[in-house]
A and B are shown apart, each in its own frame.
Chain A
């Protein structure tokens, strides 16, 4: 149910029927087809350098955590390991879900399976949820991934910065799906042909977690759980702090990713963890472009986009006041400025909140 008579974000409410904008209407910044083709090309070599480094760091910092386990050094070691495991996996789950990093399909699929488990996401449910998110980005009643429905709860927002409530919910979801139960909202975007695979994936994830739990009980140590399973809880915070910038406080119901997504500049280490998703407008406009080519795509289309934010902090400087203001005024949102000469946002008919 919508809060206090505001918009109904549920995928089974009245907005679910009324809001289909149609894919053809989405704005795309013009770019030469030849250049887009170049940027879309996949490279196993570039992907393996990134994914191999990441996996190597997960294994190395995990070994370090095991080595210092039982000493005071275990806490900082867990912090570092958790970020590579939890935050690193979350962005890689997303990339391989699009199937874009590797040219070789089985490598994409293998890393997708691994990263889905490491981020405790059901690979099938999330693939379809994310498909809808790309079809109808921040379209109320259609997008299952609107993280900040208006009016947003500051308490939930603050808690979710550390990702712990969301991931706890994800664990509950895993148990429910393993038992063969899907909600009506999930059924609205997950085709029935995918259900058996979806149930099987949750069961497999639970089985692995149960085996890790068994190992912990057998050797009378928390270490196995700190290495597999728990890092998703204690290590996903960095990804979530970065990902909060994607759409929070921006326009709803507009078929133009320049208006509902943020692109900002970020240091190379965080970009490595986050797989360049700070180029979020670019990713939504051209989802075929692999993460390693997003900076080049940004250069190609930036003259047609709102200016990129200078830093992560600059995004929060805008988001926090906007979200605070939405407490009292849920119609408020940040209107992104387009540079002179940029293409216009396509006309669209979805009524604004006040009119509904």
Chain B
């Protein structure tokens, strides 16, 4: 059974930016791309478990604030060392002005 969870208001995420969303003991990152798409990944960098919410979104990449690893937040692909492991991604939908993620 898909489990859709409301993460935040859609306009809470600025264009080319991200917000942190905590749910239970898990943490996620919700992104808004330059062309207004919404995406969701795990909230912690796969290198040393730092919160990506403090990182920088550039185009379709998130840069980790700690050692500058980058990931494609659409696919989770690790693009730049020191990240070697991809990020998990989650389906996203927008309904009534809210961002929902399937976890």
Contacts and interface: CB of A to CB of B under 8 A. Distances in A.
B22 to A, nearest CB: 14
A127 B82 contact: yes
B66 A127 contact: no
A37 interface: yes
A135 B49 CA distance: 11
Contacts of B70: 99
A23 B58 CA distance: 24
Nearest to B17: A37
User: Which interface residue of B47, B50, B63, B82 has the most chain A CB atoms within 10 A?
Assistant: B82
Given A37-B17, A37-B56, A287 B66 contact: yes
User: Which interface residue of B48, B58, B70 has the most chain A CB atoms within 10 A?
Assistant: B48
Contact of A131 (B49, B63, B82): B82
A337 interface: no
A128 B65 contact: no
B84 interface: yes
A68 B12 CA distance: 63
Interface residues of B, number: 19
A194 interface: yes
Contacts of B103: none
Interface string B65-85: 111101000000000111010
Contacts of B66: 23, 134-135, 287
A105 to B, nearest CB: 8
A193 interface: yes
Nearest to B82: A131
A103 B58 contact: yes
Given A23-B50, A135-B48, A194-B81, A287 B67 contact: yes
B43 interface: no
A288 B56 contact: yes
A42 interface: yes
Given A23-B48, A23-B49, A288 B68 contact: yes
Interface of A: 23-24, 33, 36-37, 40-42, 98-100, 103, 105, 127-128, 131, 134-135, 191, 193-194, 286-288
Interface of B: 17, 47-50, 54-56, 58, 63, 65-68, 70, 80-82, 84
